[in-house]
Amino acid sequence: MIGLPEVLVILIIALLVLGPKKLPKLARSLGLAVREYKKAVEKPKKKTKKPAG
């Protein structure tokens, strides 16, 4: 698992590479991607939790 220090290092590197103008757009895109991934993972779980009968 990635801890807080690792996340901070990644953010600092991203800020240096991308610049302050592109970083919010990247963060927004990353958030949307994570949200879609979670939806895709939860979908099969919901199908398997239906009661048999």
Q: Give the residue extent of every domain in the chain.
A: 4-43
Contact 33, 25 (CB under 8 A): no
44 vs 37, higher pLDDT: 37
Backbone angles phi, psi at 51, to 5 degrees: -65, 140
∠ CA(51), CA(34), CA(10), 5° rounding?
Answer: 145
Confidence of residue 42 (pLDDT cuts 50, 70, 90): confident
Share above pLDDT 70 across residues of the chain, in percent, rounded to a whole number: 85
Which one, of 12, 38, 15, 37, lies nearest residue 26 by Cα?
15
Q: For the chain, give the percent of residues with pLDDT over 90.
A: 30
Q: Of 16, 28, 22, 53, nearest to 8 (Cα)? A: 16
| pLDDT mean across residues, the chain | 84
